[in-house]
Amino acid sequence: MNLKIYNTLSKEKELFIPLDKNLIKMYVCGPTVYNYAHIGNARPAIVFDVFFRLLKSIYPKVLYVRNITDVDDKINNAAKELNEPISSITNKYTDIYHQDMDSLFVLRPDIEPKVTENIEHIILMIQKILDNGYAYENEKHVLFDVTSFNDYGKLSKRNKEEMLSGARVEVASYKKYPGDFVLWKPSENDDPGWDSPWGYGRPGWHIECSAMVDKFLGQEIDIHGGGQDLIFPHHENEIAQSCCANKNTKYAKYWIHNAYLKMEGEKMSKSLGNIISIKELLDNYDGEVIRLALMSTHYRKPINFGESLLEQSKNILNKLYKNLEYDSNDDTISKDVLSPLLDDLNTPLAISNLQKIKCSKTLLNSANILGLLNRSKDEWFSLNENLSISEEDIKSLIKERDEARKSSDFKRADEIREKLDKNNVVLEDVKGKTTWRAKK
């Protein structure tokens, strides 16, 4: 059973060879909790959830860490705007993020560290980088000295000159070199802050992930994931920090990045007003439908998100649930689902093959590795908040219709069918027996 994954580092599909096959270590960059998570945020969560499930099915133990960023200037700004304490913002949106992820059937990572709870290790890490001569202190800031690290740019495939030629932002006075980035910065007034060897302040953006990986997973890990936009500068800087703190040339063995999503062909942006939160979407679509929609395109390709994709996903799920006859403890997984997943997580092909499975047991097990078919058939088809009629009324109407049909009063029978249809109830006459289900 060979797993192949595309590694951003080599720009090639590689055979996955774990550092230790008894313990797989995976880290994914998590959310900054200052607002509702939008649909774009759901993509990496779902992609790496499938990876997590797949790895767990192959290896005895997988340790999955995903951080929560609760120190960030965006959070500070949100707190000021709403005139609320920072902790109430971060707590609120952390809870909402968890709810959203649960609704999408995204498994919780094994460890979900917060920046605020790990400042000590961040300070320790920065100190090591300073001690090793890869950083400097200036105007109350600690900065990473990019020119001191030869491998800088190896992930994003950029050289230092290229990066500078395109720089659009004025260089801060405390930087020796325009490409240098902040490890620690001073805090003033209401800013959250902690005492450190360099004064009262807070960590820069990139150091938290290096510190979390170091603390919870160690110096070297198997997989590091995130959105494509994080390749530069975030992940490039993480490599620099971790390698220089630990005097190690290695950090993450496989770098995996998911592509973006577009809204109905357009990019998602505030000015277009087409940013949609997971929460809003969940009002209209089941979490599994959204999940399937986000898996219907390969993770390294842009996905065109929209109503038609959601409708299509809903139809597929209805069909899959229809084929689900009973639950079971059997653990057979279809080879036609597993092997596409083993080939760089080809979810579209796996989903396509899923629809061809005839055996209900195998269907369920195979779907579960994708995080699908989480409910029973009955549960799925009666799940409908729009059902404006009680089960009792439905049953008595069915009975009335049966009698009408027996006496060939088809006009009345059709009236009842129509009435139920308006209440989102679909009737099916199978083998002389009438069953009902909610219209999805």
Please, which of residues 269-308 interact with RNA by CB under 7 A?
269, 296-298, 300-304, 308
Residue 409 phi/psi, 5° resolution? -90, 75
Binding of residue 193 to RNA (CB under 7 A): no
Q: Among residue numbers 387 through 416, which ones bind RNA (CB under 7 A)?
A: 405, 410, 413-414
Site for RNA in 414-433 (CB under 7 A): 414, 417, 426-430
18 or 179, CB closer to RNA?
A: 179
162: contact with RNA by CB under 7 A:
yes
Encoding tokens for residue 227?
A: 């959105």
Between CA 239 and CA 333 the distance in angstroms is: 37
In angstroms, what CA-CA distances link 127 with 67, 188, 249? 22, 22, 19
Among 60, 81, 168, 271, binds RNA (CB under 7 A): 168
Touching RNA, residues 309-368 (CB under 7 A): 309, 311-312, 315-316, 319, 322, 340, 343, 346, 348-349, 352, 355-356
273 sits in which H/E element: none
For RNA, what does the binding mask look like between residues 127 and 146, x meaning CB under 7 A? -------------------x
What minimum distance in Å lies between the beta carbon of 359 and RNA? Answer: 14
Residue 249 CA to residue 154 CA, distance in Å, equals 12
Residue choice 16, 52, 181, 285 for contact with RNA (CB under 7 A): 181
Per-residue burial over 46-70, b = 16 or more CB atoms within 10 Å of its CB, e = otherwise: bbbbbbbbbbebbbeebbbbbbbbb
Asked if the peptide bond before residue 233 counts as cis, ω within 30 degrees of 0, the response is yes
Interface with RNA in residues 210-229 (CB under 7 A) = 226-229
Binding flags for RNA, 46-85, as an x/- string (CB under 7 A): --------------------------xxx-----------
By CB neighbour count within 10 A (0-12 exposed, 13-18 middle, 19+ buried), where does 420 fall?
buried
Residue 92 engages RNA in binding (rule: CB under 7 A): no
Least distance from RNA to the Cβ atom of residue 263, Å: 9
Note whether 174 binds RNA by CB under 7 A. no
- Give the whole-angstrom CA distance, residue 274 versus residue 267: 8
Taking the complex as a whole, the smallest distance from the CB of residue 329 to RNA amounts, in Å, to: 26
- Six token digits for residue 223: 């997989």
Minimum CB separation of residue 109 from RNA in Å reads 15
Choose among 307, 303, 308: nearest CA to 268: 303
Q: Can you say whether the dihedral through the CA atoms of 407, 412, 418, 422 is positive or negative? A: negative
- Asked whether position 371 contacts RNA by CB under 7 A, the answer is no
- Compute the half-sphere exposure of residue 360: CA atoms within 13 Å on the CB side of its CA: 11
